[in-house]
Amino acid sequence: MSHKSAGILPVCNGKLFMLKEKGKLADFGGKRKLLETPEDTAWREFAEETNGLGSRADLLRVLAEFKNKSGHVVFICEMKKPLVGQEFQVVDLKKAVPSFYELHMTNQINGRLKVKGLCSFFSKFEAIDMAPKFIF
């Protein structure tokens, strides 16, 4: 199945940055345009939704890629610099309060992020010190 939408979940120095969207936390993503790859969709939407604060040039590496049943692809990306702005929610993965799982279980996460394996991915990092790099 082709992707219908895609987004980025940026991580920097052990912190996950999420977009506040309609009362829920979401990735920086949206619908694809004709002939876009999932990566192209995700990076275009990321630049749009961060008002140019975030770009592909800030990428250190892609940590993981997930796809939900509806065709939304989300890329977890380690970035060179954090996002700064009132419209962004920061989840401190080192402190894990609240954890990504708790946000998910209390319905604070946008439905497009209901992706098998995403909570497990973040729970791996809640027990270790991730600064300044992820350890695999």
**CA–CA separation, 66 and 86 (whole Å):** 27
Residue 62 is assigned to a structural domain of this protein: yes
Which domain, by its residues, includes 114? 5-123
67 inside domain: yes
Residue 127 has pLDDT above 80, yes or no: no
Q: What is the pLDDT of residue 59?
A: 92
Is 27 within a domain?
yes
DSSP 109: B
Lowest mean pLDDT among 36-40, 45-49, 95-99, 130-134: 130-134
Which of 102, 14, 92, 89 lies closest to 49, judged by CA? 89
The number of distinct structural domains making up the chain is 1
Q: Specify if 132 maps to a domain.
A: no
Q: Model confidence at 4, in pLDDT bands (50, 70, 90)?
A: very high
Asked if residue 36 has pLDDT above 90, the reply is yes
* Domain assignment present for 22: yes
For residue 58, pLDDT beyond 60: yes
Question: Could you tell me which residues come within 8 angstroms of residue 34 by beta carbon, excluding any fewer than 6 positions away?
Answer: none
Contact of 84 with 16, CB cutoff 8 Å: no
pLDDT tens-place string over residues 67-92:
988 899 999 999 998 888 767 877 77
- Asked whether residue 130 is assigned to any structural domain, the reply reads no
The per-residue pLDDT for range 24-33, each reduced to its tens digit, is 889 999 999 9
What is the CATH number for 105?
Answer: 3.90.79.10
Give the Å distances, CA to CA, from 39 to 43, 70, 115: 6, 17, 17
Which pLDDT score is estimated for 95?
65
Q: What's the mean pLDDT in 87-109?
A: 75
In a domain, 135, yes or no: no
Whether residue 136 lies inside any domain: the answer is no
DSSP annotation of 33: P
Q: How many percent of the chain have pLDDT more than 90?
A: 36
Task: Name 4's bridge partners.
Answer: none
